[in-house]
Structure 1
Amino acid sequence: METRRLRMLVELSRLGSMRAVADMLGTTTSTVSQQMAALADDMGTALTEPHGRLVRLTPAGRRLAEHAVTILTAVETARHDLAPGSEPNGTLRVAGFATAIRAHLLPIVTALTTSHPRLSILVREHEPAEALRLLAEDATDLALTYDYNLAPAAEDPVVRATALWTARWGLGVPARADIRPGSTLEVFAQLAGQDWIVNSRNTADETVIRTLASMAGFTPRITHQADSLDLVQGMITAGLGVGLLPMGTATFPAVRLVPLTAPDVELRSYAVARHGRLDWPPLALVTDLLVGRSTTGSQSRHLP
């Protein structure tokens, strides 16, 4: 039984389309189809069945996909267990959002230059969905991601997320705005007629805003998008709308940060890696160091 075929089966169970599997693995749909047929021959049972113009896994296919996750994890563990306890060395690829890199990873990189000179860390800045896609494609080893308590990320059995720090968020409004103190929903209700600014590269902020607005009894008018919170503050200053901002961030003179409580809005950060690689010394070392730094205080995304 070839592990390549098991990998295709796992991705087919996750993506639901042979074309999507082919695109992700850099091959052709016909190749995926042939490999699935060969795997079915190996197992002596049908693993897929027609579903409209697509295919879906049979009960046997779903069960084998569950076993395949365990099998592939064991293979990855064996691959990275050749030198247990050895000095971390080689290249660790990390993809993550800007604040996690700036406030947490870069100080670690600087320290490791002296303490572990044989370890090299390759850094790429990406929003969570982008970083997780790179992890699925084996284009990175560690993804630094975040979600919100009001917009939790979907669970993926192929990876393990290690909790890092959390950060409270508030609402950035023009400093001159007449906002009466109150609960989150009371604050939102006062801004029902405003334009709203959301992240241009991640939908979590928008999900939080839409959820709270719905609870407050209105549909928010989402108009502007920006990835940098510096730019979000610039837009608020220019009168283009209001948007979520991390509590404790330094605000522009024309921007006021309104606390959001009951319900609170909390960003939660994670270090995410594929099962089977968690004991690889470079990955284990950097993850442990990130966890250690997270206990020293909260940081928020894209600080100016």
Structure 2
Amino acid sequence: MILDNGAVETRRLRLLVELSRLGSMRAVAETVGTTTSTVSQQIAVLAREMGTDLIEPEGRRVRLTPAGRRLAEHGEVILAAVESARLDLAPDAEPNGTLRVAGYATAIRAHLLPLVGELATSHPRLHVLVREHEPAEALDLLAADEADLALTYDYNLAPVTEDPALHATPLWTAPWGLGVPAHDDVPGSADTCAVFARFRTRDWVVNSRNTADETVIRTLASMAGFTPRITHRADSLDLVQDMILAGLGVGLLPMGTPTFPGVRLLPLTGPDVVLRAFAVTRHGRRAWPPLTLVTRLLVQRTAAATSPSSRPDGTGVDG
């Protein structure tokens, strides 16, 4: 049969190549485990597909026509390429090729880039192409087949809706707190709603490239009985702290992040605010060796240590 893209089915090419090598239909049938009549029928179909005779009688046997010999030569190259591709893409194959990764900057900087250096030595035929993107952007690239792996995050209070076409592998989690001016008097033991209520009259700083932390802030403010006045947006953790120091408002920051003098980081407990990081792939691609390898190494790496700056970019509010 001719495939949808006009290509010839490789199984028929194999029969022709074997006939060129072995010289008889019976020998081909014995080699591939079928009948002589089947071999004859399939080569006849291949001839119709190609629009030319591929074999001709030679006594009680057959021989390839000039067109048949030429197609057999092409067939050897094609079959070798197909076999090479099969071995290259098999789940147990040595990872090689180009792996396209889209992800937020903290995951790239803290977890992916160290792996890239290691892979250059351990798997020199594997090349990692890196693109920095927020989760929604990275998932769009994955859906459009412009990325093979997306490094994303959400919050426990703002979970991303699961897409049945995608598979998300959990990587790490990181608690978040509220960054406020150091001179503000807030009891260290206050729960999350009490902390938020204390700043109900303040302006709030949120991410300029993602809505996840804004959703968290609005959710917690609603639980504390007010609507937050969100006035400032920034894509840098350092800039968020500068805004806090300038008296422009308060904002979420990852716990464990070194704070500037004059900034205090209040823990949020009951409910907690937790960032969750994921490695996301398309279901049909999960067995591809480069994806399997890099995902496994990311899981191992993040299981060994918790990143204190897992708020998306180390310098960015959410990536």
Bucket of the pairwise TM-score, normalised by the shorter protein: 0.7 to 0.9
Name the amino acid aligned to 1:118: R
Name 2:115's counterpart in structure 1: 108
Residue from 241, 244, 250 that aligns with 2:252: 244
- TM-score (norm. length: structure 1): 0.73
Structure possessing the higher radius of gyration over alpha carbons: 2
- Partners of 1:81 and 1:280 within 8 A in 2: no
Name the amino acid aligned to 2:123: H
- Partners of 2:152 and 2:278 within 8 A in 1: yes
Residues 1:132 and 2:139 aligned together = yes
Residue from 160, 172, 180 that aligns with 1:153: 160
State the SS of the aligned residue for 1:189.
helix
State the SS of the aligned residue for 1:263.
coil
- After superposition, the C-alpha distances for 1:84-111 in whole angstroms (9 at most, x for unaligned) are 3111001000000110001000000010
Q: Which runs of 5+ in 1 are unaligned?
A: 5-77
Paired residues for 1:58-137 under 5 Å: 82-137=89-144
Q: For the residues of structure 1 that align with 2:283 and 2:109, how far apart are their CA atoms?
A: 26
Q: For the residues of structure 2 that align with 1:148 and 1:183, how far apart are their CA atoms?
A: 18
> Matched residues, percent identical?
72
State the SS of the aligned residue for 1:112.
helix
Name the amino acid aligned to 2:204: W
- Partners of 2:87 and 2:93 within 8 A in 1: no
Name the amino acid aligned to 1:223: T
TM-superposed deviation, 1:83: 2.9
Q: For the residues of structure 2 that align with 1:178 and 1:206, how far apart are their CA atoms?
A: 24
- Partners of 1:97 and 1:126 within 8 A in 2: yes
TM-superposed deviation, 1:303: 1.8
Name the amino acid aligned to 2:209: R
Residue from 160, 182, 193 that aligns with 1:185: 193
Name the amino acid aligned to 2:194: E
* C-alpha RMSD of matched pairs (Å): 1.8
Paired residues for 1:140-289 under 5 Å: 140-181=147-188, 182-289=190-297
State the SS of the aligned residue for 1:172.
strand
Q: For the residues of structure 2 that align with 1:250 and 1:118, how far apart are their CA atoms?
A: 39
TM-superposed deviation, 1:234: 1.0
TM-superposed deviation, 1:146: 0.2
Q: For the residues of structure 2 that align with 1:159 and 1:229, how far apart are their CA atoms?
A: 30
In structure 2, the CA distance between the partners of 1:112 and 1:219, relative to structure 1 (3 Å rule), is same
Name the amino acid aligned to 2:252: L
Q: For the residues of structure 2 that align with 1:84 and 1:171, how far apart are their CA atoms?
A: 45
Q: For the residues of structure 2 that align with 1:247 and 1:192, how far apart are their CA atoms?
A: 21
Name 1:303's counterpart in structure 2: 314
Name the amino acid aligned to 1:247: M
Q: For the residues of structure 2 that align with 1:200 and 1:3, how far apart are their CA atoms?
A: 46
Paired residues for 1:30-45 under 5 Å: none
Q: Which runs of 5+ in 2 are unaligned?
A: 6-84
TM-superposed deviation, 1:81: 7.8
- Partners of 1:80 and 1:280 within 8 A in 2: no
TM-superposed deviation, 1:180: 2.4
Q: For the residues of structure 2 that align with 1:82 and 1:115, how far apart are their CA atoms?
A: 18
State the SS of the aligned residue for 2:248.
coil
Give the length in aligned residue pairs.
230
Q: For the residues of structure 2 that align with 1:282 and 1:92, how far apart are their CA atoms?
A: 7
Name the amino acid aligned to 2:268: L
In structure 2, the CA distance between the partners of 1:113 and 1:82, relative to structure 1 (3 Å rule), is closer
Name the amino acid aligned to 1:156: D
Q: For the residues of structure 2 that align with 1:218 and 1:80, how far apart are their CA atoms?
A: 60
TM-superposed deviation, 1:3: 9.7
